[in-house]
Amino acid sequence: MARKICVFTGTRAEYGLLYWLLKEMQADPRIDLKVLVSGSHLEPEFGETWREIAADGFPIDAKVDMHLDSDAPVAVAKSMALGLAGCAETLDRLKPDLLVVLGDRYEALAVTEAALLLQIPIAHIHGGEATEGAIDEQMRHAITKMAHVHFAAAEPYRERIVQMGEAPERVFTVGAPGLDHIGNTKLLSRSELECKLGFRFSERNLLVTYHPATLDRANPVTSFQRLLDALDRLPEVNIVITKSNADVGGHAINAAIDTYAGERRERVLAVSSLGQQRYLSVIAQVDAVVGNSSSGIIEAPAMGKPTVNIGPRQQGRVRAPSVIDCADNTDAILAAIGCALSPAAQAIAAQRESPYGRGGASKRIKDVLATVELDFLVVKRFHRLHISLN
């Protein structure tokens, strides 16, 4: 009898990382795949990306609307409450043998809490990581402590999960599943991409993705404006900007993006969601990735592109040598972009050195999900490390 496994997705970026895992699971007769969609996937402001999931051939078994009408802290808390209630009802109806969640966002935290209360075993992908400038840090670790099987993207993250008391035999180093796109996705040529985007690349081009640093007390729009000021000092560079996620401050950043791009249509394109093929195709065509997204830490180095990582949001993540960290001010950003565009930085990036593996993570995860012993999986013991605290 096939094992019923439910995969949760709440954002476009997370779905992109799950795509090849869903493909692997869908093709395996040992698995009865169920897909639960929530969060920004259902919101017009974020492109109603649930349609992409359906178009990719994954039947959506349930949708849970979290009503992301506002990104104020109280509104996000209320959205989490709606997510918890809706996911509890959905999981109780679907009755999966296992729930799969990825990452560190509040949508994932809500569904994990629901599964915990319903005694549904939880498999967590991308645990053990650190993003010290974002509230995601605490959410990620909370999900880890509620989860029963763990898939780490790099060995230092596996060690951290074990350090948190998780049983070593339940923690697997598999690499980053997002890298599976690089070997499996046919990239668009520059001309095909320009046609699809309605945008022309220049001799020099940048891909920009910027999200609020949710533990930073600074106004996220003020911080983002420093990046825009730096970009304005590079009038010869064309820019593709992907919009922010549904974090606190994300709405205001997206409004600033629309204004900025609207006033510079000849060289700036703003997009709510590119989808994986177009996103990776844009990375292949630009000279550097700029912002504070995890894709600059994980995907860009594996594709041979330098990254300018701004501010504290990704502080703590394991990095490739092609990642250039800089402070959250205009001059520092401008200097880092200049460094990224230099022949030396381009040569370092071309080595494609990455601490997150070279693909194949999705199959490794699927094989564990299909075979892991489920009996007594919800019963956890705290794994104690024998270390001195002095």
Given this model, what pLDDT does residue 371 score? Answer: 97
pLDDT class of 248 with cuts at 50, 70, 90: low
Dump pLDDT digits (tens) for 359-373: 999 999 999 999 999
Given this model, what pLDDT does residue 388 score? Answer: 66
- Out of 34-38, 225-229, 235-239, 311-315, pick the least confident: 311-315
Among candidate residues 287, 282, 283, 292, the one with its CA nearest the CA of residue 325: 292
Looking at per-residue confidence, does 196 or 272 come out higher? 196
Given this model, what pLDDT does residue 52 score? Answer: 92
Given this model, what pLDDT does residue 341 score? Answer: 97
Question: Stretch 94-99: mean pLDDT, rounded?
Answer: 98
Predicted structure pTM score: 0.86
- Out of 123-127, 138-142, 386-390, pick the least confident: 386-390
Residues in the chain: 390
Is residue 213 predicted with pLDDT exceeding 80? Answer: no
Given this model, what pLDDT does residue 70 score? Answer: 78
Dump pLDDT digits (tens) for 261-291: 999 999 999 998 888 899 999 999 999 999 9
Given this model, what pLDDT does residue 89 score? Answer: 98
Dump pLDDT digits (tens) for 26-78: 999 999 999 999 999 998 888 888 999 999 999 999 999 998 877 788 998 99
Three-class SS of the chain: CCEEEEEEECCHHHHHHHHHHHHHHHHCCCEEEEEEEEHHHHCHHHCCCHHHHHHCCCCCCEEECCCCCCCCHHHHHHHHHHHHHHHHHHHHHHCCCEEEEECCCHHHHHHHHHHHHCCCCEEEECCCCCCCCCCHHHHHHHHHHHCCEEEECCHHHHHHHHHCCCCHHHEEECCCHHHHHHHHCCCCCHHHHHHHHCCCCCCEEEEEECCCCCCCCCCHHHHHHHHHHHHHCCCCEEEEEECCCCCCCHHHHHHHHHHHHHCCCCCEEEECCCHHHHHHHHHHHCCEEEECCHHHHCHHHHCCCCEEEECCCCCCCCCCCCEEEECCCHHHHHHHHHHHCCHHHHHHHCCCCCCCCCCCHHHHHHHHHHHCCCCCCCCCCCCCCCCCCC
Given this model, what pLDDT does residue 336 score? Answer: 98
Could you give all domains of the chain from N- to C-terminal order, each with its CATH number?
Answer: 3-175+360-371 (3.40.50.2000), 187-349 (3.40.50.2000)
> What whole-number distance in Å separates Cα of residue 162 and Cα of residue 104?
18
Given this model, what pLDDT does residue 218 score? Answer: 67
